[in-house]
Copies of this chain bind each other. A is one copy, B any other.
Amino acid sequence: MHKGAGANHWFIPDGYIPEKSSGELTSHESVCVLNRSSEDAQLTFTIFFEDREPLENILVTVPARRTSHVRTSSLERDGARIPVGVPYAIEVQSDIPVVVQYSRLDATQAANALMSVVAYPIA
């Protein structure tokens, strides 16, 4: 049996899905989750906006001893998705400890630009 590692609650204040892509790569964001334990992790995402109510209770499973690089454009609840070109923020809650990193590839201008942060954990 492998123990879980990380934290149960993570935050990413700077979310943004670029509107455009040019060149060979497609603009996208990934929430990269590592579940090093022998149990599956049940994740709940909340999406916060600047000017409207949060989008709550988006569920994602990360299998035991696996990583999942979740495209934010794939997150969906009752047909509601994160709009492109809008600033937002992400909260991730997990039933067991996991580690969360956020990366964005912006290919708006043919030359790709990349950014990444380890999300902010709370106990």
Contacts and interface: CB of A to CB of B under 8 A. Distances in A.
> Chain A, interface size: which category?
35 or more
How many chain copies? 4
A43 interface: no
A46 B99 CA distance: 15
Label chain A's interface by main secondary structure.
Answer: strand
Interface of A: 5-6, 9, 11-16, 23-25, 30, 32-34, 36, 46, 48-51, 53-54, 65-69, 87-89, 91, 99-101, 103-122
23 contacts: A5-B9, A5-B11, A5-B91, A13-B67, A13-B118, A14-B69, A15-B67, A24-B108, A32-B89, A34-B89, A36-B46, A36-B48, A48-B65, A67-B87, A67-B89, A69-B87, A103-B115, A105-B113, A107-B109, A108-B112, A111-B113, A115-B115, A118-B118
